[in-house]
Amino acid sequence: MTKKYTYLFREGNEHMRELLGGKGANLAEMSNLGMPVPYGFTITTEACTQYYQDNECINDEIKAQIFEYLDKLEAQSGKKLGDTNNPLLVSVRSGARASMPGMMDTILNLGMNDTVVETVAKLTDNPRFAYDSYRRFVQMYSDVVMGLNKSRFEKIIDDVKATRGIESDLDLTADDMKELVVRFKQFYNEQLHTDFPQDPKEQLMGAIEAVFRSWNNERAIYYRRMNNIPSSWGTAVNVQMMVFGNMGNDCGTGVAFTRNPSTGEKKLYGEFLMNAQGEDVVAGIRTPQTIDHLKEVAPQAYDKFLEICDTLEKHYRNMQDMEFTIEKGQLFMLQTRNGKRTAQAALKIATDMVDEGAITTDEALMMVEPQQLDSLLHPMFDPDALKAATPITTGLPASPGAGSGEIVFSAEEAIQAKEEGRKVILVRLETSPEDIEGMSASEAILTVRGGMTSHAAVVARGMGACCVAGCSAIEMHEEEGYFVVNGQRFNRGDVISVDGSTGNVYGQAIKSVPAAITGDFERFMEWADQRRTLQVRTNADTPRDAKQAYEFGAQGIGLTRTEHMFFEGDRIKAMREMIVSKTTEQRRAALAKIEPMQRKDFEGLYEAMQGQPVTIRYLDPPLHEFLPKTDEEIAELADEMKMPKEELDAVIANLHEFNPMLGHRGVRLAITFPEIAEMQTLAVITAAINVQNRHPEWNIEPEIMIPLVGSVHELKFVKNIVSKTADKLIKDSNVDMKYHVGTMIEIPRAALLADEIAQEAEFFSFGTNDLTQMTFGFSRDDAGSFLSDYYDDNIFDSDPFAHLDTKGVGKLIQIAAQGGRKTRPDIKLGICGEHGGDPASIDFCQQVGLNYVSCSPYRVPIARLAAAQAAI
Ligand code: ADP
Ligand code: MG
Ligand code: MG
């Protein structure tokens, strides 16, 4: 049987997203709910993947099905593509499984040509409309299919407007539109040396292919990488009969959300424009009206729309984001999807809907993207500092948050600045999809034009970035590198502050304060905690980090990197002394200086965690990382150690390694220098005893973790040193203290022989940074430079250091978990690599049955929610 590549809307439903894409599945669902949706059909995502398999060619089988379904669409609508009596016009719309707003392309009014336009003019008795639609089509087709930038056509429009002495597109007459068509087609011919295609079927195939191709345009690839969407999915294509919002003043087009996407308030929220088409509302060319005004201009359509909104929200059990068009007073639905929203709004909507009895707490938990919580955990403007400051102007509060930084005017500048570690505010007339990378590199986005549903607003909310839009008091002079607001001039590089919650813009830096988990957020997180089975710990090296993590709900420390404290202040000196020591005695003397510092640090950690488990990892990095680098530094150290500089030079040269990551580090250090492990045990156990004595109500059981073990014999050797030291300390102190020795699993050999290693290890912690590096055989410090080519060529979808490679690295984790449990059924299993805070990786950890994930403090709430979702 041949594969089915095409579906009429009435053949599909909401559960067919994989095949029909989100847009197609929801158009189908709305059609079947009896809502007014213009007829159409969907070409499946499988057709798109097949297109790529066939070397970017739509094969005959798919082509035949497209034309068969075009026939069906013509029968449904009673119109025919290219017909001189009753022509059908269609839109060709992209629609992937996961919504990727604005990332791919859409073409409207397809089917227009020199004769059809005449017919449409006659039939509608509205030549202006007919030629407006035609010129829009030429513009979109040229842009999307042929790659001629839209802005070059806008120049022609500006030109015509200037000669006619008018400002608004609305003042263009039928003749002007006609002239635009002529000039557009002329421009097309000049640029491409061929005439604008007149055959509607050729137009249709060109448009479909262009939508397939747009799956792999730069911004779509970037968006996929940011959102961890596989490149293998492909996009579906929707071919849909046009309805017209640009036929006159009883027509219009708009977008709306069933609740406020910025605050979550339960109130219909949206914008529309009368006598307009498609993207006019979001393009920021004319300023749209808010949705309540629709009641006055198109009362019937408005009432119908309210009813549909209500039905859709109940049906999807989620806040909806909808697109509609009104043709001659009649409402048509063109899209619905679960609306993107700010983190703040997401929490309010989730808790409100539970209170309304509309959804369960499980549904509420699934409704919020864990990553999104991040934006609530970062500092907000200090209320007192805010009160003391006067805004220079106010725009629309498009996406909440607080940002201070230097003014930049382009995405490139923002990206550059981020690389240099500078904080910037991206100020633009309006943003376009090309700006997305620059937007994410900025502290905040400030636009002059556009409403709450403009590109900047939608994308910023999606990324959790702070954004103020439509700040029309700003006069831009971006080419000269400044803007003016109320007579005051701000230059590129000047610092301003942007408050996305109020829309205020300040001409200065403003102090910010840390965030706290309260209100809706707190309630929501309690639901998450009740639901999850995975524990969430934190990676913390300092008491400050540990305290922060504890406030964010961490249930212990999964990883303390003991060496990190040694880069600070004077401590590095003692460390260097230890490293360059020539005899064991010298080394012991240096270690003796270090021990009290470590002990104090550890006490701080135990105190911060209030009796919860703390895993301390022993010294891990190659020693030379601690050594002085410059000649002056070396001379200074030599002086201090009363050592000839040449001798120190020689020691340092000796420590040089070609591959330090695969060199003398981790457990290998403790094997050559057992006194290091002795000192660290002394510090850990003494700290634990001291804190236990101070807090008898706590039950402290130190967890000692040996890094980079590849063989059980290594672990056994070091564990012996640890036990000897620890047992004696505990005995001498007369406290009854248990402690545990475990290992990291970060070398593939350890994963493969985990059953053996578990004979000595009481717990495993998967160090997935090293494990990923060693499994792939590329260095995590160098991979960035070549992995970008992997993404561009779709060899990798995402960074394996950010999202766990569940296939390869995951297999090793599985083997290790099984092996460990075989030998020691109650072995404790955790993960402490960066992946411990990544929702997709956490889902995998749940599947493998780990006991806990450990992540950086700011990811703890994200992990708590991701763990709950993994358990649902
Ligand atoms: P995107 O995914 O970028 O939102 P869409 O495919 O939704 O792109 O198309 C953008 C806009 O084009 C829609 O919001 C709608 O206003 C307009 N549009 C698409 N198809 C039609 C149609 N059949 N009739 C009228 N307008 C349409
Ligand atoms: Mg679009
Ligand atoms: Mg859309």
- pLDDT digits over 111-126, tens only? 999 999 999 999 999 9
Cβ contacts of 547 within 8 Å, gap of 6 or more:
608
pLDDT at 80 over 90: yes
pLDDT of 553-582, one tens digit each?
999 999 998 877 776 667 888 888 888 888
Alpha carbon nearest to ligand 1 atom 12, residue? 278
Cα gap 806→45, rounded to integer Å: 24
Out of 93, 97, 285, give the residue to mutate to test ligand 1, the one with the largest number of ligand atoms within 8 Å of its CB. 93
Residue 330 pLDDT greater than 70, yes or no: yes
Lowest mean pLDDT among 318-332, 404-418, 511-525, 597-611: 511-525
Q: Verify whether ligand 1 is closer than 6 Å to residue 179 (CB atom).
A: no
CB of 242 within 6 A of ligand 1: the answer is yes
Q: Enter the pTM of the model.
A: 0.82
Which strands, in side-by-side order, build the sheet including 6-8? 6-8, 40-43, 235-241, 90-96, 106-110
- ipTM of model: 0.94
Q: Which residues pair with 92 in a beta bridge?
A: 107, 239
The DSSP annotation for 42-66 comes to: EE-HHHHHHHHHTTS---HHHHHHH
Q: Which residue lies with its CA nearest to atom 16 of ligand 1? A: 278
Which tens digit of pLDDT belongs to each residue from 476-505? Answer: 998 999 999 999 999 999 999 999 888 999
Q: Is the dihedral of CA 448, 451, 452, 453 positive or negative?
A: negative
For ligand 3, a single-atom ion, which residues have Cβ within 5 Å?
323, 335
Q: pLDDT by residue (tens digit) across 401-457?
A: 899 999 999 999 999 999 999 999 999 998 887 788 899 899 999 999 877 777 888
Q: Which has the minimum average pLDDT: 14-18, 777-781, 810-814?
A: 777-781
Ligand 1 binding pocket includes 253 (Cβ within 6 Å): yes
Say if residues 57 and 51 touch (Cβ distance below 8 Å): yes
How far is Cα 274 from Cα 328, in angstroms, rounded to an integer?
11
Give the per-residue pLDDT at 568. Answer: 65
485 lines ligand 1 (CB under 6 A): no
Per-residue pLDDT at 580:
86
pLDDT attached to residue 271: 93
Q: How far is the CA of 340 from the centre of ligand 3 (A)?
A: 12
**Helices 45-53 & 200-214 angle (0-180, nearest 10):** 90
Q: Which helix (H) or strand (E) holds 871?
A: helix 860-871
**Which residue's CA is the closest to the ligand 1 atom numbered 19?**
91
Residue 284 confidence (pLDDT) above 80: no
Average pLDDT, stretch 205-214?
Answer: 95
Give the pLDDT confidence score for residue 337 in this predicted structure.
95
Strand partners, 842: none
Q: E-assigned strands of 562-669?
A: 614-617
Alpha-carbon separation of residue 548 from 220, 284, 338, 413, 862 (angstroms)? 36, 42, 33, 33, 14
H helices of 783-854, in order, are 783-792, 809-823, 839-848
Closest atom, ligand 1, to C-alpha of 240 = 23
**pLDDT attached to residue 287:** 79
**Atom 17 in ligand 1: residue holding the nearest Cα:** 278
**CA–centroid distance, residue 553 to ligand 2 (Å):** 40
Q: Any idea which of 74-83, 87-96, 268-277, 462-471 has the lowest mean pLDDT? A: 462-471
Ligand 1 neighbour 38 (Cβ under 6 A)? yes
DSSP conformational letter for 288: P
Q: Region 171-193: what's the mean pLDDT?
A: 96
Instruction: Assess whether pLDDT exceeds 90 at residue 236.
Output: yes
The arithmetic mean of pLDDT across residues 849-872, rounded, is: 95
- Domains in the chain with CATH codes: 6-241 (3.30.1490.20), 252-338 (3.30.470.20), 379-513 (3.50.30.10), 532-622+665-871 (3.20.20.60), 624-656 (no CATH)
Write the residue with the smallest CA distance to atom 11 of ligand 1. Answer: 278
Q: Which ligand is nearest to the CA of 96?
A: 1
Catalytic residue set: 455, 832
CB 246 less than 6 A from any atom of ligand 1? no
Q: For the chain, give the mean pLDDT.
A: 93
Both tokens of residue 44? 């499946």
- As a whole number of Å, the CA-based R_g of the chain is 32
Among 228-242, 337-351, 624-638, the minimum mean pLDDT is found in 624-638
What's the rounded mean pLDDT across residues 121-150? 94
Tokens at 45, concatenated: 């995502």
Give pLDDT, residue 802.
85
Virtual torsion, Cα 567, 571, 573, 576, nearest 10 deg: -60
DSSP H helices, 464-583, are 519-531, 543-551, 571-580
* Cβ pair 98, 21 in contact under 8 A: no
pLDDT for 698-733, tens place per residue? 999 999 999 999 999 999 999 999 999 999 999 999
781-829: pLDDT as tens digits: 788 778 888 988 889 988 898 899 999 999 999 999 999 999 999 999 9
CB of 235 sitting under 6 A from ligand 1? no
Phi, psi of 85 (to 5 degrees): -100, -45
Round to whole Å and give the CA distance between 446 and 698: 50
pLDDT for 285 equals 67
pLDDT at 680 exceeding the cut of 90 = yes
Confidence of residue 1 (pLDDT cuts 50, 70, 90): low
Q: What pairs with residue 495 in β-bridges?
A: 406
DSSP strand E in 142-267: where?
235-241, 252-257
Whole-number pLDDT of residue 408: 97
**278 alpha carbon, closest ligand:** 1
At 643 the pLDDT is 86
Q: Check pLDDT > 80 for residue 687.
A: yes
pLDDT of residue 571: 80
29's tokens = 């669902």
* Non-local CB neighbours of 45 within 8 Å, separated by 6+ positions: 18, 19, 20, 21, 96, 97, 233, 234, 235, 236
The pLDDT, as a whole number, for residue 637 is 85
Residue 391: per-residue pLDDT: 94
Closest CA to ligand 1's atom 3: 102
Helix (H/G/I), strand (E/B), else coil: 544: helix
